[in-house]
Amino acid sequence: MLDLALNVSLKKMTTYHIGGEAKSFVLSNSQAELTAALKWCDGNLFPWFLIGYGSNILVADEGFPGLVIKLAGEFTSIEFDDNSRVISIGAAVMLPKLANECAKRGISGFEGLCGIPGTVGAAVRINAGTKEGEVKDLFVSADILDEQGNVRTLSSNDMGFGHRTSLLMQNRWIVLRSRFSYGLETESAKIFAQMLSHRASRKAKQPSNPKNCGSVFKPANGRAAGWYIEQCGLKGRRIGDAMIATEHANWIVNLGAASASDVKLLIRLAQDVVKERFGVLLEREVEYVPEDLIGVSSNEL
């Protein structure tokens, strides 16, 4: 029996603090519970969506017309195998927590993850990263649940990693657990010092307003998207309570009461102005929910 909550607000489940209600919501603490939730959706022709930390999505003002699933319980475990030098990580583990646990053990290579607000499962799906490196650099394999309810193990070669993309973005497969390799070990104090430096560097370049989704657009033609937007004089441009950040032009912040519609109009404005001036169409990195979900039509709202 699923322990469903009805008409749950999604605003506080996203870093944008934007979005309507989920028709229903459930926490899945195990693979068995997750499978049961998906079977229930399939049997009732009910759309579903898996939410992590909500840091790379924009939820529609109308909300989500089906079941929102959040992983917990066994999906939050981290296991170190010093013989194989591989870390096995549940999909719901937060990236900063993973970086901290590695630092405590003197394991280097994960410092760059300390400032990324997201879960391991989502990070694998989009190949998250920074200038210091991406998920694919450490990735060994992942156990995923496919549409038929089968568990598959995908290697790095299977994943089709690219800039902020992977094979998983082309289907509705769910990351259950991932394995990363680790090599060099050093003093914990040195790693923590590097992490502090990473966080300070990110903070200096990012908007002070935390209500954002991170980078809105992907790089284009070898240039950062923010460069194009800044050259077009769009820093500080505002629609409703959504504003292109003055600190970084590839970030849009919620000044307090922004709607998803405000953000979408501002995104479209940036795309149109950049296209007109440079002939470049900026591709979104932020995902629209439910519009961008495979198998879920926006007309279901």
**R_g of the chain computed on alpha carbons:** 19
Closest CA to 92 of 58, 125, 140: 125
Cite the active site residues. 164, 215, 285
DSSP state, residue 283: P
The CA distance from 89 to 95, in Å, is 10
Closest CA to 77 of 30, 118, 112: 30
The CA distance from 53 to 268, in Å, is 25
For 74, other C-beta atoms within 10 Å of its C-beta total 18
Task: Look at strands 5-9 and 238-239 and give their pairing.
Answer: unpaired
